[in-house]
Amino acid sequence: MIQHTQGPAEQFNIGEMIFHHTGDAHELDFQPLITIELPRFAPVHVGPLSIDLSPTKHVVFMLLAAAIIITVLKIAGNGVRKAYALGQAPRGFAGAMEALVLWVRQDIAMESIGHESGAKYAPLIMTFFFFILVCNLLGLLPWGASPTGNLAVTGALGLIAFGAIEIGGMRKLGFKGYMGTIFPHIEGLPPAGAMALSIFMAPIEILSKFVKPFAFMVRLFGNMTAGHFVILTMFGIVFLFGHFGFVSWALGVTSAVVVLAVMGLELLVAFLQAYVFALLAAVFIGLMQHEH
Partner 1 sequence: MNDLPAPFQPTLGLVFWTLIVFVLLLIVLTKYIFPTLVQMTVDRENAIKQQMADAAQMRAESAAALEEQRQLLASARGEALAIVAEAREAADRERSIAVEKTRLEQEELLARARREIGAERERAVADIRREAVDIAISAAAKVVGARLDVAADRKIVEEYIASIAGGARG
Select the span of 1-9, 154-162, 243-251, 267-275 touching partner 1 (CB under 8 A). Answer: 154-162
Task: Please give the backbone phi and psi of residue 28, each rounded to the nearest 5 degrees, phi first.
Answer: -95, 120
Our finding on whether 127 is near partner 1 (CB under 8 A) is yes
Our finding on whether 160 is near partner 1 (CB under 8 A) is yes
Our finding on whether 137 is near partner 1 (CB under 8 A) is no
- Of 1, 60, 8, 38, the closest CA to residue 241 belongs to 8
User: What DSSP string runs through the chain?
Assistant: -------SGGG--HHHHHHHHHS--SEEEETTTEEEEPP--PPEEETTEEE-----HHHHHHHHHHHHHHHHHHHHHHHHHHHHHTT----HHHHHHHHHHHIIIIIIIIHHH-HHHHHHHHHHHHHHHHHHHHHHHHTTSTT---GGGSHHHHHHHHHHHHHHHHHHHHHHHHHHHHHTTTS----SS-HHHHHHHHHHHHHHHHHHHHHHHHHHHHHHHHHHHHHHHHHHHHHHHHHHTTTSTHHHHHHHHHHHHHHHHHHHHHHHHHHHHHHHHHHHHHHHHHHHHT--
Our finding on whether 181 is near partner 1 (CB under 8 A) is no
Nearer residue to partner 1 within complex by CB, 121 or 181:
121
Among 20, 91, 171, 243, binds partner 1 (CB under 8 A): 20
Measured from the CB of residue 3, what is the shortest distance to partner 1 in angstroms?
15
Our finding on whether 53 is near partner 1 (CB under 8 A) is yes
- Of 124, 62, 108, the closest CA to residue 275 belongs to 108
Measured from the CB of residue 160, what is the shortest distance to partner 1 in angstroms?
6
Pair 39, 54: CB distance under 8 Å: yes
Nearer residue to partner 1 within complex by CB, 22 or 112:
22
Among 119, 207, 253, 268, binds partner 1 (CB under 8 A): 119
Measured from the CB of residue 159, what is the shortest distance to partner 1 in angstroms?
7
Measured from the CB of residue 231, what is the shortest distance to partner 1 in angstroms?
14
Our finding on whether 167 is near partner 1 (CB under 8 A) is no
Our finding on whether 80 is near partner 1 (CB under 8 A) is yes
Among 112, 137, 140, 149, binds partner 1 (CB under 8 A): 149
Our finding on whether 101 is near partner 1 (CB under 8 A) is yes
Q: How far apart are CA 30 and CA 159, in angstroms?
A: 32
Our finding on whether 19 is near partner 1 (CB under 8 A) is yes
Our finding on whether 31 is near partner 1 (CB under 8 A) is no
Measured from the CB of residue 78, what is the shortest distance to partner 1 in angstroms?
8
Q: Name the site residues for partner 1 (rule: CB under 8 A).
A: 16, 19-20, 22-27, 49, 51-56, 58-59, 62-63, 66, 69-70, 73-74, 76-78, 80-81, 84, 97-98, 101-102, 105-106, 119, 122-124, 126-127, 130-131, 147, 149-153, 155-157, 159-160, 221, 225
